[in-house]
Amino acid sequence: MRKFKTESKKLLDLMINSIYTNREIFLRELISNSSDAVDKLYFRSLVDETVKINRADLAITVAFDEDARTVTVSDNGIGMTKDDLDKNLGTIAHSDSFEFKQGGLDKPGLDDVSPDGDVAADVDIIGQFGVGFYSAFMVGHKVRVVSRAYGFDEAWAWESDGVDGYTIEAAERSEHGTDVIVYLKADTDEETYGSFATESGLKSLIKKYSNYVRYPIQMEVTKSRMKERPADAGDGYQPEFENYTELETVNSMVPIWKRKKQDVTDEEYNEFYKTDFHDFEDPLRTLSLHAEGTLTYDALMYLPSHAPFDMWSKDYKRGLALYSSGVLIMDKCEELVPDYFNFVRGVVDSADLTLNISRETLQHNSQLRAIARRLEKKIKSELSSMCADDREAYTGFFKEFGRTLKYGIYSSYGMAKDTLADLLLFYSAKQEKMVTLDEYVASAPADAEAIYFAAGDSVERLAAMPIVTTVLAKGYDVLLCDESVDEFCMMALADYAPKDAVEPDGSTKAWPIKNVGGEDLGLTTEEEKKKAEEATEENADLFSAMADALAGKVKKVAVSTRVTEAPVMLTTEGAVSLQMAHLLKEQPGSDEGVPEAQIVMEVNVDHPVFQVLKDAQASGNAQKVADYTGILFDQALLVEGLPIDNPLRFAERVSALMV
């Protein structure tokens, strides 16, 4: 017996007991896998001439044996080789994917090669965790999988009790495809597992969960008919009945996206989503669209309630499934959704599209672009209204996908700003909650002219930063940005024209967006400036000694007009802030050539520490000036949450101070 790979046992338990609350969904999961397997084979037939199959023959079969207490889901899809069985079913929640979720790996499921050897395609089709199959163990004490891969002569059987491990042995199967046989558990007080092995039980589950699977789901159903009247039957003949079985297609297969919204229940929409997009949670929103006119199409889109595990990997592919008159052309058509809405899942079906599976042709298809524009508007308006009318749901959405929107602004160099800027949320230091840029502006004091933000690695730390408290003390709000993309996004935005802030002449005034750690914030009065200039002049020698002590680290040392409590703070001149320089340096392969921050160490001349420095300078103690300056610089970096160059020397200097 082969053992399940390491995390598997733990995960299996977790999965069985917590991911799915509803045991009956095992059937949906197995049928979805079958549908995927059939899809994979169909895809292959489109791109590989040697694969000859007839689409009309592709089907899924559900069977049961009441006495043996088994339920069997079969398909004539792509099937699995011995290796596939080992890889796909031997590791629960593919250890890669699991580690990825924990932030360990940046490439999920690389060993997840499908029978056609196409890694990327497989990663696409794979559900959220690769756990769907294991839901069979919620109802089964044993599962047997007999599979024969397309193009292979031999078949293999995988078998497991779902506890310790599994076996794989040679088996027989007349055709390519897979049978999954679930041996139902014994009935308990809470659950009568046996009821799954009945015709009515299975039929209703197929209708409930898998009605829109696009391949026929067939069952041998028992029917009754009147026996033919025997020729020698006399007058008193009583008609007799007999049972016979017939293969029946149970699912409707009528595409759900073709139906009018008012005729479909939320539950049906949700089930379709979960089946087709392998999610275990209902979607957050469902958007359906029927367009008629020059271009006729139906679209059904979903905003997921959580990000898929591979969302942030390079292998993640955006796109909607594209159908032409109910026939799948492409699993993920990228052109249908912009990158910044890459989380949207769904289906577009248009009879007007030229049926051509070549990607190139579709890419240059103006019809496709017209549809994409319409869909983008629809998504945008749904998000806007959610943001306005259901902030709780929207905040949840933003937590999952806000990064994508921000990245969209940054990566388009601000070109997507008009679409995305009013969808952004940032944490307001003043209001202590997430706010939109419009809300920031609406609650700003009358004399405010800019949107201020601070960037760092945690909201708590940012809130405590001297410059943030100073700006807050002046009555202005500061947006605390703790995601690494934030500052790049703010830079790409550069300014924001609030929706309602129309000037008397009809124009809208754009508010500049300013980093509180950047150059002049424009918050200094003339009087403060004059005072600072005088102090700079008065202490010119000291400042030049301090600048010498920090040679190569800072551009200059100057009197601060904005730091009120701390002895010093670090600001930057030019486009590169401290946080940004740090992030850039952390990028892999950035050993050379990353832009440096032009750091200014601003000194609070009202702080007692400054007096100490002045005294040291006056008494000619140059070493003390240099050491203390070094400590001040390092401690300012630490306050920002940034690493210091030489922690050992910092510690020695502080210890020396104590002695």
Interface residues with ligand ADP (CB under 6 A) are 29, 33-34, 37, 75, 77-80, 88-89, 114, 126-127, 130-134, 178, 278
**Minimum distance, C-beta of residue 215 to ligand ADP, in the bound complex (Å):** 12
Q: Between 88 and 617, whose beta carbon lies closer to ligand ADP?
A: 88
Is the CB of 126 or the CB of 168 nearer to ligand ADP? 126
Rounded (10°) CA dihedral 11, 14, 17, 21: -100
Nearer to ligand ADP, 143 or 362 (CB): 143
Measured CA to CA, the distance from residue 637 to residue 627 in angstroms comes to 16
Helix (H, G, I), strand (E, B) or coil at 291: strand
In this complex, which beta carbon is closest to ligand ADP, that of residue 132 or of residue 498? 132
Whose Cβ is closer to ligand ADP: residue 133's or residue 610's?
133
The phi, psi pair for 298, rounded to 5°, reads -120, 140
Least spacing, CB of residue 111 vs ligand ADP, in Å? 12
Question: 37 or 465, CB closer to ligand ADP?
Answer: 37
CB of 136 to ligand ADP, least distance (A): 9
Buried b (16+ CB within 10 A) or exposed e, 101-138: beeebeebbeebbbbbebbebbbebbbbbbbbbbbbbb
Residue 221 and residue 246 in contact, taking contact as beta carbons nearer than 8 Å: yes
* Shortest distance (Å) from residue 52 CB to ligand ADP: 19
Q: Name the minimum Å distance from CB 82 to ligand ADP.
A: 13
SS3 at position 318: coil
Q: Say if CB 458 and CB 482 are below 8 A apart.
A: yes
Contact 567, 610 (CB under 8 A): yes
Q: How far is the CB of 654 from ligand ADP (least distance, A)?
A: 54
Burial of 536 (0-12, 13-18, 19+ CB in 10 A): middle
Task: State the nearest-atom distance from the C-beta of 186 to ligand ADP, in Å.
Answer: 25
Residue nearest ligand ADP, Cβ-based: 127
In the complex, least distance from residue 41 CB atom to ligand ADP, rounded to whole angstroms:
9
> Residues near 269 by Cβ (< 8 Å), separated by ≥ 6?
256, 283, 286, 288, 300
CA distances from 518 to 59, 432, 500, 558, 572 (A): 63, 23, 28, 14, 5
In angstroms, give the least distance from the CB of 88 to ligand ADP: 3
What does the chain come to in residues?
A: 659
Alpha-carbon span 307 to 3, nearest angstrom: 31
Rounded CA-CA distance 267/275 in Å is 12
* Least distance in angstroms from the C-beta of 26 to ligand ADP: 10
Q: In what order do the strands lie in the sheet with 511-515?
A: 433-435, 426-428, 478-481, 451-455, 511-515, 495-496
Give the CA radius of gyration of the chain: 33
Determine contact, residues 141/183, Cβ cutoff 8 Å: yes
Strand partners, 559: 603
- The 10 Å Cβ neighbour count of residue 454 is 27
Nearer to ligand ADP, 78 or 485 (CB): 78
Q: Which amino acid appears at position 111 of this protein?
A: D
Name the residue nearer to ligand ADP (CB basis): 132 or 567: 132
Kindly tell me which of 114 and 350 has the beta carbon lying closer to ligand ADP: 114
Residue 163: closest CA among 308, 1, 288, 331: 1
Q: Which is nearer to ligand ADP, 90 or 408 (CB)?
A: 90
Q: Which residue, 134 or 297, is less far from ligand ADP as judged by CB?
A: 134
- Please, what is the minimum distance in Å from the beta carbon of residue 279 to ligand ADP? 10
